[in-house]
Amino acid sequence: MHLPSFPPPNPPNTSDIMSSLIPTKRVDLLAPYMALDQGSSVQAEYIWIDGDNGLRSKTMTLDESPASVADLREWNFDGSSTNQAPGDNSDVFLRPVAIFKDPFRGGANILVLCECYDNDGTANKSNHRAHCKKVMDAAKAEEPWFGLEQEYTLFDADGQVFGWPKNGFPGPQGPYYCGVGAGKVFARDFIEAHYRACLYAGVKISGINAEVMPSQWEFQVGPCEGIVLGDHLWMARFLLLRIGEEWGIKPSFHPKPLKGDWNGAGCHSNYSTKAMRTPGKGMAAIEAAIQKLEARHLDHMAVYGEDNDQRLTGLHETASMHTFSAGVANRGASIRIPRHVGAAGHGYIEDRRPASNIDPYRVTSIIVETTILNV
Ligand code: ADP
Ligand code: MN
Ligand code: MN
Ligand code: MN
């Protein structure tokens, strides 16, 4: 058999690859096939976090719908192709942990979030969920709730911010936050598709808004208790990236995607315990939690996202990453107590330090370790 030489004699140049990112899904061609009867078989999309904080997935056919994750088979993949294992010991194992409905294939088809394990049974280096699950189980009695605000920036197939003029910049920030009207809002159709796909899938998305920088958006997930927040946030990210394939849009989770006078992107992490939510004693619990968070500021910053130093400058509604601060209604503080929480005397706090590219399992687990488990 004639094997193609490698690399191919005429490798496509980068711009060819980029333009092939433009609509990969021909809805008109695909529709009749998606309407075909698939019998009782179910397509299960196994999804996992790779070695570079990205997502991967592959599909398995099931004979019937699983009643729970316990009915789903463990699977494996080549970890040397995902920066998760060396080539000479490359098998990484996928253990299903959560099931969502599949908005792409519809019907009884499912999305399956998985944890990654190495051959020796230990959690893969990319698997921060395993530790998070132990932490959340240990803190169960305090009922930790999280609501995360995922900010992200849209890029087009050419690597430019989506919708920005090709040879210049849009007008300065001001009209874009929660903007309405042509020229003030970008890719609303893509955002709507993602929102509805989350609702269909069963992701607990609590809202969306356009952000301060044009073509930057936010969705919120929560409140979710314990491990559920990380599961739902990762699934919401999967849907965003996957739908982007169809629009030719590349969402970026980088905390400072553009240098200069443009806002960075964060993942504000709202948090409460049963005590913090209790009328009469909530504020005392909130103040105690803030003191503990202050004492471990640097430990938290270490897991609050790569390149977060480019974002936490003290400008653009951020606090400096070198100092810890807290205050009611203060969007320049590390921790903000929302005005209505201050007024009611109970509720939740907002940790404004985490960057948009965090692993939510790491952030939610360290918050619980610091404030509940006293690590
Ligand atoms: P902001 O005013 O900072 O933009 P958002 O409305 O975007 O706030 O997000 C607030 C988040 O707080 C939501 O994700 C919501 O689910 C979450 N939240 C609300 N109440 C609680 C609570 N008691 N504990 C934890 N999170 C909460
Ligand atoms: Mn918000
Ligand atoms: Mn925001
Ligand atoms: Mn916020």
- The verdict on residue 186 lying in a domain is yes
Looking at the CA of 207, name the nearest ligand.
1
Instruction: Supply the residue whose CA is at minimum distance from atom 26 of ligand 1.
Output: 147
Note residues around ion ligand 3 (Cβ under 5 angstroms). 218
How far is it, in rounded angstroms, from Cα 357 to Cα 359?
7
- The verdict on residue 115 lying in a domain is yes
Contact predicate 300/365, CB 8 Å: no
Torsion, Cα of 26, 27, 28, 29 (10° steps): 60
Ligand 4 centre to CA of 213 (Å) is 15
Q: Is the CB of 348 under 6 A from ligand 1?
A: yes
Ligand 4 centre to CA of 22 (Å) is 33
The residue type found at 22 is I
Nearest to 304 by CA among 277, 328, 324, 288: 324
DSSP code per residue over 11-68:
PPPHHHHHHTTS----HHHHHHHHTS--TT-EEEEEEEE-TTS-EEEEEEEESS--SS
Q: Is the CB of 219 under 6 A from ligand 1?
A: no
Residues 149 and 281 in one domain: yes
Q: Which atom of ligand 1 lies nearest, measured to the CA of 350? A: 3
Nearest to 58 by CA among 31, 81, 40: 81
Q: Of 96, 126, 156, which residue is a domain's last?
A: 126
- The verdict on residue 287 lying in a domain is yes
Contact predicate 264/310, CB 8 Å: yes
How far is it, in rounded angstroms, from Cα 48 to Cα 94?
8
Residues 93 and 186 in one domain: no
Residues 157 and 109 in one domain: no
Tokens of 2: 């004639």
Q: Of 88, 104, 126, which residue is a domain's last?
A: 126
pLDDT of residue 23: 55
Residues 83 and 182 in one domain: no
Say how many domains are in the chain.
Answer: 2
Residues 95 and 145 in one domain: no
Residues 244 and 177 in one domain: yes
Instruction: Supply the residue whose CA is at minimum distance from atom 14 of ligand 1.
Output: 147
Q: Is 218 exposed, middle or buried (0-12, 13-18, 19+ CB in 10 A)?
A: buried
Residues 43 and 80 in one domain: yes
Instruction: State the Cα angle at 277 between 274 and 278, rounded to 5°.
Output: 90
Q: Of 126, 151, 173, which residue is a domain's last?
A: 126
Q: Are strands 91-101 and 216-225 parallel, antiparallel or unpaired?
A: unpaired
Contact predicate 101/200, CB 8 Å: yes
Q: How many helices (H) and strands (E) does the chain have?
A: 9, 13
- The verdict on residue 350 lying in a domain is yes
Ligand 2 centre to CA of 177 (Å) is 11
How far is it, in rounded angstroms, from Cα 93 to Cα 29?
35
Residues 249 and 188 in one domain: yes
CATH number at residue 176: 3.30.590.10
**Which of 152, 270, 339, when mutated, tests ligand 1's pocket best, judged by the most ligand atoms within 8 Å of its CB?**
270
pLDDT of residue 60: 98
- The verdict on residue 30 lying in a domain is no
Per-residue model confidence as pLDDT tens for the chain (375 residues)? 344 333 333 434 444 444 444 555 677 888 899 999 999 999 999 999 999 999 999 999 999 999 999 999 999 999 999 999 998 899 999 999 999 999 999 999 999 999 999 999 999 999 999 999 999 999 999 999 999 999 999 999 889 999 999 888 999 999 999 999 999 999 999 999 999 999 999 999 999 999 999 999 999 999 999 999 999 999 999 999 999 999 999 999 999 999 988 999 999 999 999 999 999 999 999 999 999 999 999 999 999 999 999 999 887 778 888 999 999 999 899 999 999 999 999 999 999 999 999 999 999 999 999 999 999
Q: Is the CB of 268 under 6 A from ligand 1?
A: yes
Instruction: Supply the residue whose CA is at minimum distance from atom 7 of ligand 1.
Output: 149
Ligand 3 centre to CA of 205 (Å) is 15
Contact predicate 116/93, CB 8 Å: yes
Could you give the angle at which helices 129-138 and 360-371 cross, rounded to 10 degrees?
Answer: 30
Ligand 2 centre to CA of 176 (Å) is 14
H helix runs in the chain, sequence order: 14-19, 27-34, 129-138, 188-201, 228-247, 282-295, 297-301, 339-344, 360-371
Residues 181 and 70 in one domain: no
- The verdict on residue 330 lying in a domain is yes
Residues 197 and 281 in one domain: yes
Nearest to 110 by CA among 62, 44, 65: 44
Q: Is the CB of 217 under 6 A from ligand 1?
A: no
Domain that holds residue 79: 38-126
CATH number at residue 100: 3.10.20.70
- The verdict on residue 290 lying in a domain is yes
Edge to edge, the sheet with strand 91-101 lists: 55-62, 42-49, 110-117, 91-101, 75-78
Torsion, Cα of 271, 273, 277, 279 (10° steps): -140
Residues 259 and 352 in one domain: yes
Q: Which atom of ligand 1 lies nearest, measured to the CA of 271? A: 25
pLDDT of residue 10: 42
Residues 99 and 220 in one domain: no
- The verdict on residue 20 lying in a domain is no
Contact predicate 171/212, CB 8 Å: no
Q: Is the CB of 359 under 6 A from ligand 1?
A: no
Contact predicate 271/282, CB 8 Å: no
Q: Is the CB of 149 under 6 A from ligand 1?
A: yes
Looking at the CA of 148, name the nearest ligand.
1
